[in-house]
């Protein structure tokens, strides 16, 4: 997806605008600690076009940000990766010296800049927004992020300028290769794991000629199966400061998840699952990718027993409850232990996510598991709903449509869960998320 970065000095309303643009779409994952908090990334949809938005206000701590150069330094990764920038200014405050300085830095990026003249809540401030036209950027849009005024015009202009062709191209060239993303927070060993994979004996490596934009993928072949390691250049890139490294890891994860079928989420065995692991795992979950959790640096864990692995897995499961279907493998990029196994698991996951349950089997499953016990179920609104039948609408990821009737639409979460569990008991769907959507007829 094309990426838009929101930038501006503190307290101009960046996060409010961010929430407006992503339409406050509730994260599927819910309120697990460390996932929805500190959300800097979201997806916006406008006139049938989708793009990603990053809120640099989530990256830059307010007290450092009184110096524009600092705002830029810390938002560096987001700005570099962005296709367009939205500069948020405060019309009530007018043009401040900080804005002057920011404008200069923004111009130097050479990227298209859209000015969101925020807090234009009343007619009279519209005129004040015009003050910002003197910087010569694309266009100035008076908006009120809080009241949702003027954002439509801004969105129109954004999608007119973003390059959506890239996305179409990427989707067109999917072949039988398995697209693999290696994601995780800084220093968990992503690059080391990548090097190890590329160095495996049975693996044939070939570079991929200029794929999309600046991303460099690497093709791997093992036992006749092709893998495309998504953005291998990005896996190796390191942030200069800890903060930048963390932002980069999140951005990289988001970008490569968009193009991947299977994600290897790397966690550091010597530090255990921490909040940022959960945060990145949340993005992985939302992406719909199949997921394998690789607990790396297993060589560095002292006095290992069978129990150590089980305990670690329990800690991972506890922290990443929403990934209960993702396998956990302990590996060592250093010694190579079980690294090649990741490829075999990815292959299995790929097959699972492309598996379509034959209709006759699914009908039979319905007659056996749903019709007799649960066809008449509790809806989210409290009333009763009748489950009429279930179909598998698509693969990659497997998506099921539950047709309901009567009462008000809204399958209860626990019922979706029940259905998912029953489906998994029959067909596993190894390492793969299952989507359940409802179609209701009243």
Query: Is there binding between residue 192 and ligand GDP (CB under 6 A)?
Result: yes
The 3-state secondary structure of 229-275 reads ECCHHHHHCCCCCHHHHHHHHHHHHHHHHHHCCEEEEEEECCCCCCH
Q: Which two tokens stand for residue 440?
A: 């209701």
Query: Is there binding between residue 190 and ligand GDP (CB under 6 A)?
Result: yes
- Among residues 332 and 404, whose Cβ is nearest to ligand GDP? 332
Residue 249 CB, nearest approach to ligand GDP (Å)? 7
Distances (CA, A) of 149 to 49, 123, 142, 300: 20, 11, 8, 55
Query: Is there binding between residue 189 and ligand GDP (CB under 6 A)?
Result: yes
Choices 50-58, 66-74, 132-140, 329-337 (CB under 6 A): range interacting with ligand GDP:
329-337
Among 56, 332, 392, 404, binds ligand GDP (CB under 6 A): 332
Query: How many residues sit close enough to ligand GDP to count as binding (CB under 6 A)?
Result: 15
Residue 328 CB, nearest approach to ligand GDP (Å)? 16
Residue 383 is assigned to a ligand binding site: no
H-only helix segments in 138-231: 151-161, 165-172, 190-199
Choices 40-48, 96-104, 152-160, 326-334 (CB under 6 A): range interacting with ligand GDP:
326-334
Enclosing H/E stretch for 427 = helix 413-427
Distance between first and last Cα of the chain: 36
No. of helices (H) and no. of strands (E), the chain: 16, 17
Query: Is there binding between residue 333 and ligand GDP (CB under 6 A)?
Result: yes
CA-CA distance, 202 to 238, in Å (whole number)? 29
Going by the DSSP 8-state scheme, the letter that residue 27 receives in this structure is P
Find residue 291's DSSP bridge partners.
Answer: 263
3-state DSSP call for residue 434?
Answer: coil
Residue 427 is assigned to a ligand binding site: no
- Among residues 192 and 391, whose Cβ is nearest to ligand GDP? 192
Among 14, 259, 297, 348, binds ligand GDP (CB under 6 A): 297
- Among residues 71 and 188, whose Cβ is nearest to ligand GDP? 188
CB 4 within 8 A of CB 83: yes
Residue 400 CB, nearest approach to ligand GDP (Å)? 35
User: Phi and psi of 362, rounded to 5°?
Assistant: -70, -40
Residue 14 is assigned to a ligand binding site: yes
Residue 382 CB, nearest approach to ligand GDP (Å)? 47
Binding site as annotated, residues for GTP: 8-15, 55-59, 118-121, 184-191, 231-235, 296-299
- Where along the sequence are the contacts to ligand GDP (CB under 6 A)? 184, 186-192, 296-297, 299-300, 332-334
Which residues carry a binding-site annotation? 8-15, 55-59, 118-121, 184-191, 231-235, 296-299
């Amino acid at each position: 997806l094309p990426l838009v970065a929101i930038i501006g000095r503190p307290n101009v309303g960046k996060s409010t605008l961010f929430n407006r643009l992503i339409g406050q779409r509730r994260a599927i994952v819910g309120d697990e600690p460390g996932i929805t908090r500190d959300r800097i990334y979201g997806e916006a949809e406008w006139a049938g076009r989708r793009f990603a938005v990053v809120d640099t206000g989530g990256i830059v701590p307010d007290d450092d940000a009184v110096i524009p150069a600092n705002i830029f330094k810390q938002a560096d990764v987001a700005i570099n990766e962005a296709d367009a920038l939205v500069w948020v200014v405060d019309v009530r405050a007018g043009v401040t010296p900080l804005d002057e300085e920011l404008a200069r830095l923004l111009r130097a990026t050479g990227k298209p800049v859209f000015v969101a003249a925020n807090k234009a809540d009343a007619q009279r401030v519209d005129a004040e927004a015009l003050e910002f036209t003197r910087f010569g950027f694309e266009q100035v849009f008076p908006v009120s992020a809080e009241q949702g005024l003027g954002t439509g015009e801004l969105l129109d202009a954004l999608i007119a300028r973003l390059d959506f062709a890239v996305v179409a191209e990427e989707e067109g060239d999917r072949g039988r290769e398995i697209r693999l993303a290696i994601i995780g927070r800084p220093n968990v060993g992503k690059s080391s794991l990548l090097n190890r994979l590329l160095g495996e004996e049975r693996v044939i490596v070939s570079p991929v000629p200029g794929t999309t934009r600046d991303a460099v993928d690497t093709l791997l072949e093992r036992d006749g199966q092709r893998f495309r390691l998504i953005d291998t250049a990005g896996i190796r890139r390191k942030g200069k400061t800890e903060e930048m490294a963390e932002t980069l890891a999140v951005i990289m994860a988001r970008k490569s998840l968009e193009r991947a079928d299977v994600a290897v989420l790397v966690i550091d065995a010597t530090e255990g699952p921490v909040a940022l692991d959960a945060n990145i795992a949340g993005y992985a979950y939302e992406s719909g990718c199949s997921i394998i959790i690789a607990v790396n640096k297993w060589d560095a864990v002292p006095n290992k027993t069978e129990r150590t692995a089980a305990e670690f897995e329990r800690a991972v499961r506890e922290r990443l409850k929403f990934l209960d279907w993702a396998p956990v493998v302990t590996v060592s990029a250093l010694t190579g232990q079980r690294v090649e196994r990741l490829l075999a698991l990815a292959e299995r996951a790929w097959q699972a996510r492309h598996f379509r349950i034959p209709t006759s089997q699914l009908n039979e499953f319905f007659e056996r598991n749903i019709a007799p016990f649960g066809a008449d179920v509790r809806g989210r609104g409290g009333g009763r709903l009748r489950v009429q039948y279930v179909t598998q609408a698509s693969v990659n990821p497997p998506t099921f449509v539950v047709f309901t009737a009567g009462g008000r639409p809204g399958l209860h979460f626990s019922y979706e869960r029940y259905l998912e569990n029953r489906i998994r008991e029959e067909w596993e769907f190894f390492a793969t998320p299952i989507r359940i959507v409802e179609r209701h007829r009243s």
